[in-house]
Homo-oligomer: A and B are copies of this chain.
Amino acid sequence: MAEPAQPQRRTRSKRSADSRQLILDATLDCLLENGYARTTTLTIQARAGVSRGRLLHHFPSREGLLVAACQHLASTHLAELENWVAVSLDARGSDVDRLDRVIDLFWSTFEQRYFWGAIELWTAARTDERLRNTLMPEERRLGTAVRHVIDALFGPTFSSNPRYPMVRELLLTSMRGVAMTYTFDRRDRHSDPHLAIWRNLAYLLLEDAAPAVASVPLQHENSHN
Contact = CB atoms under 8 A, between A and B. Distances in A.
A35 B184 contact: no
Contact of A174 (B34, B162, B174): B174
Copies of this chain: 2
Q: Is the interface of A mostly helix, strand, loop or mixed?
A: helix
Q: Which of A127, A143, A178 has the most CB of B within 10 A?
A: A127
Contact of A166 (B34, B175, B216): B216
Determine which residue in A142, A175, A185 has the highest number of CB atoms from chain B within 10 A of its CB, and name it: A185
Interface residues of A, number: 60
Interface string A134-145: 011001101110
Given A123-B183, A135-B184, A174-B173, A35 B128 contact: yes
Nearest to A166: B216
Given A173-B177, A174-B173, A183 B223 contact: no
Interface of A: 33-38, 116, 119-120, 122-128, 131-132, 135-136, 139-140, 142-144, 146-147, 162-163, 165-166, 169-170, 172-178, 180-181, 183-185, 194, 197, 200-201, 204-205, 214-216, 218, 220, 222-225
